[in-house]
Chains A and B, each alone.
Chain A
Amino acid sequence: MSRKEVVKINDISKPVKRLVQLKLEDLMPLPPPYDKSGSEPPLTTPKPEWEETYVTELDGYIAIDLPWKPKTKEEEERLIQKFLEGLKKLTSRESNWTFLQPLLLSLEYCAKCQNCAEACPIYIASGRKDIYRPTYRAEVLRRIYNKYIAKKPGGDIELNIFTLMRLAELAYRCTLCRRCVQVCPLGIDNGLIAREIRKLFSQELGIAPKNLHEKGTVQHLKVGSSTGMTPKALLKMVKYIEDFIYEKTGKRIKIPVDQKGADILLIHNAGEFLSWPENVAAFAIIFEEAGLSWTLSSEPLGYDVVNYGAWYDDVQLARIALKHIEIARKLEVKKIVVGECGHATKALVVVADRILTDENRIPRESALPLLRDIVMSNKLNLDPSKNNFPVTLHDPCNIVRLSGIVEPQREILRKIAPMFREMVPHGVYNYCCGGGSGFAIMQSLNFPEWRNKVASRMKFKQILEAFKDVLDPKIPKYVCAPCSNCKGAIRDVLAHYRATELYNIHYGGLVELIVNAMVDLKEPYLDFLKEKKS
């Protein structure tokens, strides 16, 4: 038996170029047909010029695509000082009441039993690399806190620039799926700790991946959408989608926009308009068919329900949530319904709940229960045999484990997809798609490689296993993922392994599948079914 070398807590401050180097053969093996060597693309090393500007000292991958690597001793010192000031704020009532109690409890009571490690898809998929243990980054932060802030005795740690740089990157090696928390006998939240570290870096040092901050929440608040889509572009998109619906279904639908006094304000993840317009269209088809009183909004932020603050910054989270509420109030709707977007559901329905006081307390719901009620009421004329191909369901962590919305999507699938099969495990014990906490949209430098190889590996394995009896490329298969970010991650992992091309595995949302079952549609709504026929 070969003895694996342990990367110790204190190794985080080691002045070496790379703390670990991932190797393909160390990663968790994939099931057939990806079990042979050469069946997946190799790992790459970071370009030498990146190492000058970006932090590659952890595992060679770069999540924080800012040139924040200090060049001089003074810069290093300044960063460390600032970090400590931030840590003080992070553990103070005034500046961090929003998560103070969960954070301090998690710092204080971990028994270091490592029960959580086996629950973490990243740790397992990496071939059990110590730095990806749920407890690794948490213990580093705990020791820094104990030594410099709380002045408690215990494990020592050296807070040098390597510690700091690696800790920042490590905060982005966890998808905040919180699967580890479910098995912790003490309820310690290592996912939360990862998010708190991100917060410290963002709120104090202004350091966060560009796609989350600069091109994310900042752009969202300024332009109206993190995609950069302006209200004008949105209105054009709506026209396009109306034509798209006509083309697909022969139905002329007028999509209501800015209808004051409608019952429902439906807000999508704006990424849907650009990447998956068929999802937005399907919602419109279903809502119209069901005779709902609903509207979209063309106000800035009113057409983009994402809230990247949920992943790294409480202030941005609150700003965006309040904007969404303000728009709903102006439109005088009865409630906000969040489209197929997991983190937006959690952010607006769950996390923001307590800061929405008085007249801001507008009901907010996920679209899934509403869709379930529509499908079950038989308002739509559906023929399940139109969905006569294997379908499996991906559970978005934010909707399922973190919001408790588990059955509605299943009830729908059991009704409309005769070949529906579950992944193992599923429901509240699901595995993250690998795109959680912003990973799906962090597309710069070599980070997508890490996501596809490590973060999404467990999900890809589950998908292959769910379809193991129908891998034959002649049989089309569908991974239903009712969340934009999950779809993004699954799209990328299927492409990385060429699973669509080689094994006919497709992905998409839930509403597309519902519309595909509508009796009065002559052509299949899902494109891959059409291609097959021609």
Chain B
Amino acid sequence: MSYNIESIIFYTSYITFTIFIIGIIYKWSRWASMPIHLRWELYPVPHEKKAEYGGSYLEEVDWAKKTREVTKIGELKEMLEEMLFIKRIYLMNKRLWFLSWFFHFGIYLILVWFLALFLSAIIMSLGVQIPSSNPWAYFLYYVTLITGGLGAIMTIIGGIGLLIRRLSDPVLRDYTTWPDYLNTVLVLITVATGLAAWIYDPAFDLARKFMLSLVTFSQPPPLPTITTVNIALIQLLLVYIPFSKITHFIGKYFTYHKILWDDEPNTGQLDGRVSELLKLPLRWSAPHIRSGETWEKNAAGL
């Protein structure tokens, strides 16, 4: 393989993707390994039987003696509504919702596009031609076509709208810091170059071929400059994401599942973890606290 620009971004694809995966795992485990916190749930909790009106098992006399029923379906439904439709913004602010939903849904479509490209490359490596009359090839060809174009357009409309909203409203402008802008701008530029590259590659043939080269570890096809720039930006984004607030999808998992919806009573299963924490020394220095003593000792006495 000669050392042209294609081969460089070919190799960096693996590197950046690995950094991305490691970064995401790191971020996830950082939150997952935090100490257990005191209970701080917020109703409605969708896995409760009485979630419809926000009720909990605490509505029962002698709840501690009864078996607690939870419905994971309710939780799943709420999760999907929030992920796919951003329900909480929809209910409060329709204009913001429109922009935010376009932006996010566009990104989901782009993710589907990536997946479709990847699957296309897999079946191509097995000898199937795309486009061809093979039903899988047919399906993936159209999925790629629709999700790629529509996804990019929706993301750009939503993203520009969100940026304009932030820049034109004095309150939002005041709250927004430059890393906040950078996130949106980086995503927008990446998608915009993708859109430009699409002009040279209307059926995503090149994209598919590049993916095939990645999957089969073989010589990448020659690419137009704009496509190269686009791929380079995607790689930049991959490296950037784990260190940015774009990982809010991880944060959201924890705020909901591990805090707001975590109403599991301690029936002994948490004793071990909590006892460990109660042995930690407290460093607070107000007069009513015995600084340096453990939580346990502090809680037990004055």
Residues of A within 8 A of B35 (CB): 93, 97, 100-101
B77 in the interface (beta carbon within 8 A): no
Name which of B135-143, B206-214, B280-288 contacts chain A.
B280-288
CB <8 Å contact, B38 and A355 = yes
Residues of A within 8 A of B82 (CB): 185
Give the residues from 192 to 230 in chain A that come closer than 8 angstroms, CB to CB, to chain B: 192, 202-206, 213, 218, 221-222
Contact of A357 among B43, B180, B271, B286 (CB under 8 A): B271
What mask results when residues 11 to 36 of chain B are scored 1 for a CB within 8 Å of chain A, else 0? 00000000000000000000100111
Name which of B109-117, B151-159, B169-177, B232-240 contacts chain A.
B169-177
Residues of B within 8 A of A204 (CB): 284-286
Q: Closest CB-CB distance, B189 to chain A, in whole Å?
A: 19
What mask results when residues 85 to 118 of chain A are scored 1 for a CB within 8 Å of chain B, else 0? 1100100111101111110111011011111001
A52 in the interface (beta carbon within 8 A): no
- Chain A's closest residue to B60 (CB) is A369
Contact of A428 among B54, B65, B96, B270 (CB under 8 A): B54
Residues of A within 8 A of B48 (CB): 404
A181 in the interface (beta carbon within 8 A): yes
Interface size class of B (residues with CB under 8 A): 35 or more
Known contacts A94-B280, A203-B286, A404-B43; A187 and B256 CB within 8 A of each other: yes
Residues of A within 8 A of B56 (CB): 403-405
B200 in the interface (beta carbon within 8 A): no
Known contacts A353-B266, A428-B53; A406 and B255 CB within 8 A of each other: no
Q: How far apart are the CA atoms of A398 and B73 in the complex, in Å?
A: 27
Name which of A39-47, A237-245, A359-367, A380-388 contacts chain B.
A359-367
Most B C-beta atoms less than 10 A away, residue of A98, A113, A319, A366 = A113
Residues of B within 8 A of A92 (CB): 283
CB <8 Å contact, A404 and B263 = yes
Residues of B within 8 A of A318 (CB): 295, 298-299
Q: How far apart are the CA atoms of A159 and B234 in the complex, in Å?
A: 38
A183 in the interface (beta carbon within 8 A): yes
CB <8 Å contact, B299 and A100 = no
Q: Closest CB-CB distance, B255 to chain A, in whole Å?
A: 3
Contact of A183 among B43, B88, B178 (CB under 8 A): B88
B69 in the interface (beta carbon within 8 A): no
Contact of A202 among B62, B91, B92, B286 (CB under 8 A): B286
Residues of B within 8 A of A93 (CB): 34-35, 280
CB <8 Å contact, B171 and A130 = yes
A25 in the interface (beta carbon within 8 A): no
Q: Closest CB-CB distance, A55 to chain B, in whole Å?
A: 18
CB <8 Å contact, B255 and A102 = yes
- Chain B's closest residue to A404 (CB) is B56
Contact of B58 among A108, A314, A349, A373 (CB under 8 A): A349
Give the residues from 147 to 191 in chain B that come closer than 8 angstroms, CB to CB, to chain A: 170-172, 174-180
Name which of B2-10, B120-128, B222-230, B246-254 contacts chain A.
B246-254
Residues of A within 8 A of B100 (CB): 113, 185
CB <8 Å contact, A351 and B175 = no
Residues of A within 8 A of B92 (CB): 115, 118-119, 183
Q: How far apart are the CA atoms of A135 and B174 in the complex, in Å?
A: 12
Known contacts A206-B288, A218-B288; A182 and B38 CB within 8 A of each other: no
Contact of B278 among A101, A315, A316, A355 (CB under 8 A): A355
A139 in the interface (beta carbon within 8 A): yes
A33 in the interface (beta carbon within 8 A): no
Give the residues from 338 to 379 in chain A that come closer than 8 angstroms, CB to CB, to chain B: 349-358, 361, 363, 365-366, 368-370, 373
Contact of A99 among B31, B38, B53 (CB under 8 A): B38
Q: Closest CB-CB distance, B38 to chain A, in whole Å?
A: 5
CB <8 Å contact, B61 and A99 = no
A38 in the interface (beta carbon within 8 A): no
B260 in the interface (beta carbon within 8 A): yes
A28 in the interface (beta carbon within 8 A): no
Residues of B within 8 A of A349 (CB): 58
A407 in the interface (beta carbon within 8 A): yes
CB <8 Å contact, B266 and A102 = no
B274 in the interface (beta carbon within 8 A): yes
B133 in the interface (beta carbon within 8 A): no
- Chain A's closest residue to B104 (CB) is A185
CB <8 Å contact, A185 and B88 = yes
Residues of A within 8 A of B45 (CB): 404
CB <8 Å contact, B88 and A184 = yes
Known contacts A114-B172, A221-B302, A350-B41; A203 and B289 CB within 8 A of each other: yes
A48 in the interface (beta carbon within 8 A): no
CB <8 Å contact, B302 and A319 = yes
Contact of B281 among A94, A108, A316, A319 (CB under 8 A): A94
Tell me the A residues contacting B by CB distance below 8 Å.
Answer: 6, 8-9, 82, 85-86, 89, 92-95, 97-102, 104-106, 108-109, 111-115, 118-119, 130, 135, 139, 152-155, 178, 181-189, 192, 202-206, 213, 218, 221-222, 314-316, 318-319, 322, 335, 349-358, 361, 363, 365-366, 368-370, 373, 400-408, 427-429
Task: Pull 16 A–B residue pairs with CB atoms less than 8 Å apart, ordered by A.
Answer: A82-B285, A85-B285, A95-B283, A101-B34, A109-B255, A139-B175, A189-B255, A353-B38, A354-B36, A357-B278, A369-B59, A370-B61, A401-B54, A403-B56, A405-B58, A405-B59
Known pairs A94-B280, A358-B271, A400-B54. 19 more at Cβ < 8 A? A105-B254, A105-B259, A106-B255, A109-B248, A114-B175, A118-B92, A183-B88, A187-B259, A206-B286, A335-B64, A355-B299, A357-B270, A361-B267, A363-B64, A365-B62, A401-B43, A402-B42, A404-B43, A407-B55
List of 6 A-B pairs having minimum Cβ-Cβ separation, nearest first: A404-B56, A187-B255, A428-B54, A155-B177, A318-B299, A109-B251
